[in-house]
Amino acid sequence: MRRQGLGQPIIFLAFQSEDEYMSLRESIENKDIALIDILDVILDKGVALKADLVISIAGVDLVYLDLRLLIASVESLVQAKAGNRKTVSSQEFDIQREELIDATGQPNKWKD
Amino acid sequence: MDGLIYLYGLIPTKEASERTFPSLKGFDGEGELYAIPIGNITAIVCNLDSEIYSEESIKDKTNNDMEWLQEKAFHHHETVLNLSKIFTIIPLKFCTLYINQASLETAVLSNEAKMMDTLALITGNEEWNLKIYCDDQVLKEQVSLSNPAIEAKRAEISQLPKGKQFFEKKKLDSLIESELEEEKNKVSEKIHAQLQQSALKGNVKRTWSNNVTGRKDNMTWNCVYLISTSNVESFLEQIQQYEKDMKETGWHFEASGPWPAYHFSSFSK
């Protein structure tokens, strides 16, 4: 399970159930995780031990919505980067794009 | 040193003494993580400059600087995730801070028994999340064609005079909608019951709206499972099988994990 986000090298491992070299858990473990899933657990579900200072974020749902906008901008940034890389064929780019759209849960803005 | 202590997680001291502690960067990207043994529990922490990371500045950042929040949220998650690959860890909430070591020690010692119980529960087990999505349009067609109540109603309507048919068709549409919701719940609950047989615990979560997911299909199920590591592969195979069997009828399954045991570490009550 890896993260996707700003400034990270984007390496996609397509989910291939037929891949005999990779177990199902490995292929899922290597999938990108959307920020929203991370925030959901670390803001809402992490253990709340009595502390001197705990930063609580009011209206987590609103934070999610704000983040959607941020994620959308990260997505286009990453797409531009992937498009500029010479080693990426257009077919691979399409696969990466679909993976990214899948990972972020964003609707597909691109027409195939 | 007049600094804050950022607490990432709690691990058994026994594991801390037997396994190599990794080199990981702290919350500020400069300092290193280190371990503080407190009896049977070891706290994994980093130091933070209290002038830069005051309560006010962190609150301001988390509320107004989304990029900062994203970066730090990823940092917290990745750090705990990396630790969870080496140790059995109780993951703490984002930005849990102590003003000094004594304060941290007091908090840990007063919960030691509960923490030991939690560690015993999660040792050798993994947390996995499953989200089930459904394309309502595709499923609606299925429901509309194969549901006996709807079929009977349709047959009844065809016998009526044209004028009456219009209103009855409206009623039929709302019947289809309610049957669709019922079908979605029934299917999700059935799958959950089957999956729970290979899991130790299942914790049903709130589903997210399309506004939050940004997807066209609807989330019909959101659940976390605590699974013995040896059962994970078969658990995932089971989910893969559902996906294969049900894809045609509009269903989509997304599993993610293993997560640090965020949902099965709670001991606040």
Domain match, B97 and B134 both: no
Residue at B268 is within a domain: no
Picking from B61, B77, B110, the residue at the C-terminal end of a domain is B110
pLDDT at A100 over 60: no
Distance between CA atoms of residues A96 and A85, nearest Å: 12
Q: Where are the domains of chain A?
A: 2-104
Does the predicted interface ipTM exceed a cut of 0.90?
Answer: no
B10 HSE (CA, 13 A, CB side): 32
* Structural domain span for residue B106: 3-110
B94 → closest Cβ in A37, A55, A61: A55
The predicted structure's pLDDT at residue A92: 52
Residues B175/B150, Cβ–Cβ less than 8 Å? yes
Asked, for residue B120, whether it belongs to a domain, the answer is no
Residue B266 lies in a domain: no
Cβ-Cβ contacts under 8 Å for B47 (sequence gap 6 or more) = B1, B3, B4, B5, B6, B26, B31
- Most A CBs within 10 Å, among B48, B79, B81, B94, to test the A interface: B94
- Report residue B14's pLDDT band, with 50, 70 and 90 as the boundaries: very high
* A100 neighbors A15 (Cβ within 8 angstroms): no
Comparing alpha-carbon positions, the chain A residue that sits nearest to B213 is: A105
pLDDT digits (tens, 9 = 90+) for B126-159: 999 999 999 999 998 888 888 888 888 888 898 9
Q: How far is B172 from chain A (nearest CA, A)?
A: 31
> B218-253 burial string, b = 16+ CB within 10 Å, else e?
bbbbbbbbbbeeebbeebbebbbebeeebeebbbbb
Q: Are residues B146 and B96 in the same domain?
A: no
- Count Cα neighbours of B232 within 13 Å in the Cβ-side half-sphere: 24
Reported as a pLDDT band with limits 50, 70 and 90, residue B208 is confident
Q: Does B239 share its domain with B183?
A: yes
Burial label for A44, CB within 10 Å (0-12, 13-18, 19+), is middle
Pair of tokens at residue B53: 């990371």
Q: What is the mean pLDDT of residues B48-58?
A: 86
Predicted TM-score of the model (pTM): 0.78
Chain B residues with CB-CB distance to A30 below 8 A: none
Nearest CA in chain B to A58: B63
Residues B139 and B195 occupy one common structural domain? yes
B196 or A1, higher pLDDT? B196
Asked whether B180 and B136 are in contact (CB, 8 A), the reply is: yes
Residue B251 lies in a domain: yes
Give me the amino acid identity at B46: C
Q: Are residues B205 and B232 in the same domain?
A: yes
Count structural domains, chain B. 2
Asked if the structure places residue B265 within a domain, the reply is no
A18 touches chain B (CB under 8 A): no
Is B171 inside a domain boundary? yes
Q: In whole angstroms, what is the distance from residue B15 CA to residue B41 CA?
A: 10
- The partner residues of B96 in beta bridges, in order of sequence, read A54
CB contact under 8 A, A53 and B256: no
Residue ending a domain, among B64, B79, B110, is: B110
For residues B168 and B218, membership in a common domain is answered with yes
* B103 & B153 share domain: no
Q: Of B110, B135, B157, which one is at a domain's C-terminal end? A: B110
Comparing alpha-carbon positions, the chain B residue that sits nearest to A102 is B215
Q: What is the pLDDT of residue A70?
A: 52
> Is residue B81 one of the residues assigned to a domain?
yes
B144 and B213 co-located in one domain: yes
Q: What percentage of residues in chain B have a pLDDT greater than 90?
A: 67
Answer yes or no: is B264 within a domain: no
pLDDT band with cut points at 50, 70 and 90 for residue A55: low
Bridge partners (DSSP) listed for residue B254: B131
B148 and B238, same domain (yes or no)? yes
Question: Smallest Cβ distance to A24: which of B77, B93, B240?
Answer: B240
Do A33 and B267 make contact, defined as CB atoms within 8 angstroms?
Answer: no
| CA dihedral sign, ordered B66, B68, B74, B77 | negative
Task: Look up residue B225 and give its amino acid.
Answer: Y
**Which of B73, B111, B257 lies at the smallest CB-CB distance from A38?**
B73
- Given a cut of 70, whether residue B200 has pLDDT beyond it is yes
Query: Is residue B19 domain-shared with residue B62, that is, in the same domain?
Result: yes
pLDDT tier at A10, thresholds 50, 70, 90: very low
Q: Which of B76, B77, B96 sits opposite A54 (nearest CB)?
A: B96
